[in-house]
Amino acid sequence: MKYVCSICGYVHDEAEKGIPFQELPADWKCPWCGASKSDFAPQEEKEASAPIVTDASDLSETHELQKLSAGQLAALCSSLARGCEKQYKAEESRLFKELANYFTAITPAVEDATVMTIADALKEEIAFYPTLKATAEAAKDRGAQRVCVWGEKVTRMLYSLINQYLEKGDQMLEGKDVWLCTVCGFVYIGKDAPELCPVCKVPAWKFEKISGRN
Amino acid sequence: MSNKKIAVRNLRLCTKDCLCLYVCPTGATDTENSIIDPEKCIGCGECALACPSAAISLVPADYPEQQPKTNIVISALNDQAQRKSSTEKAASQIAALMADCGLGYLLEAMARSERLVTEDIMREAGYMLPQSSNVRQLLEELVANPPTPSFPIETAKKLLKLLP
Ligand code: SF4
Ligand code: SF4
Ligand SMILES: [Zn+2]
pLDDT digits (tens, 9 = 90+) for A141-178: 999 999 999 999 999 999 999 999 999 999 999 889 99
Q: Is residue A207 part of a domain?
A: yes
pLDDT band at A101 (very low <50, low <70, confident <90, very high): very high
Closest ligand by atom to B120 CA:
3
The pLDDT value recorded for residue A87 is 82
The mean-pLDDT minimum among A169-178, B30-39, B42-51, B119-128 falls in B30-39
**Does residue A153 lie in a domain region?**
no
The Cα angle at residue B41 between residues B40 and B42, in degrees rounded to 5: 115
Task: Give the residue whose CA is nearest to atom 6 of ligand 1.
Answer: B47
Examine the domain organization and report whether B77 and B122 are in the same domain. Answer: yes
Residues 2-31 of A with CB under 8 A from B: none
| Contact at CB, A151 and B93, closer than 8 angstroms | no
Residue A133, pLDDT score: 94
Pair B88, B42 in one domain: no
Residue A151: which of B29, B117, B55 has the closest Cα?
Answer: B117
Chain A CB within 8 Å of residue B153 CB? no
Q: Is residue A199 part of a domain?
A: yes
Residue B118: is its pLDDT beyond 70?
A: yes
**B69/A168: higher pLDDT:** A168
Amino acid at B31: T
Same domain, B40 and B90: no
Segment B132-160 shows an average pLDDT of: 95
Residue A211 inside a domain? The answer is yes
The Cα–Cα gap between A61 and A48 comes to 25
What ipTM score was computed for the predicted complex, to two decimals? 0.88
Q: Are residues B74 and B118 in the same domain?
A: yes
pLDDT confidence of residue A214 = 37
pLDDT score at A56: 63
Contacts of B93 in chain A (CB under 8 A): 109-110, 113
Shared domain for B50 and B26, answered yes or no, is yes
List the domain range (segments joined by +) for residue B85: 66-126
Q: Residues near B143 by Cβ (< 8 Å), separated by ≥ 6? A: B153, B156, B157, B160
pLDDT of residue A58: 59
Q: How many domains does chain A have?
A: 1
Higher pLDDT, A86 or B56: B56
Q: Is residue A165 part of a domain?
A: no
- Residue A184 belongs to domain with CATH number: 2.20.28.10
Q: Residue B11 has what pLDDT?
A: 84
CATH of the domain at B27: 3.30.70.20
Is the CB of residue B155 less than 8 Å from the CB of residue A99? yes
Distant-in-sequence, close-in-space partners of A38: CB < 8 Å, separation ≥ 6:
A160, A163
Q: Does residue A195 lie within any of the structural domains?
A: yes
pLDDT reading at B64 higher than 90:
no
pTM of the model: 0.82
Determine if ligand 2 sits within 6 Å of the CB of residue B16.
yes
Band the pLDDT of A213: cuts 50, 70, 90.
very low
Least confident range of A202-206, B2-6, B48-52: B2-6
User: pLDDT (tens digit, 9 = 90+) per residue, A57-87?
Assistant: 656 655 454 589 999 999 999 999 999 998 8
Torsion of CA B79, B80, B86, B91, to 10 degrees: 180
For B26-38, b/e burial (b = at least 16 CB within 10 A) is eebbeeeeeebbe
Mean pLDDT of chain A: 90
Looking at the fold, whether B76 and B105 belong to one and the same domain comes out as yes
Q: Both B122 and B143 in a single domain?
A: no
Is the model more confident about B164 or about B153?
Answer: B153
Query: Which is it for strands A40-42 and A2-5: parallel, antiparallel or unpaired?
Result: antiparallel
Count of C-beta atoms within a 10 Å radius of residue A39? 22
In a domain, A210, yes or no: yes
| B120 and B143 part of one domain | no
Q: Is there a single domain that holds both residue B71 and residue B53?
A: no
Average pLDDT score over residue span A114-119:
96
For range B97-106, the mean pLDDT: 88
DSSP string over A155-167: HHHHHHHHHHHHH
Residues B31 and B74 both lie in one domain: no
User: Same domain, yes or no, for B146 and B118?
Assistant: no
Residues B78 and B119 in one domain: yes
How many structural domains is chain B composed of?
3
Query: A63 vs A89, which has greater pLDDT?
Result: A89
A29 domain residue, yes or no:
no
Mutation target among A79, A164, A200, A209 for the B interface, most CBs of B within 10 A: A79
Note down the domain range covering A207: 175-214
SS3 A2: strand
Q: Which residues in chain A (107-166) have CB-CB distances under 8 A to chain B? A: 107-110, 113-115, 117-118, 121-122, 124-125, 128-129, 131-132, 135-136, 139, 141, 143-144, 146-147, 150-151, 154-155, 158, 161-162, 165
Q: B155 to chain A: which residues are within 8 Å by CB?
A: 95, 98-99, 102
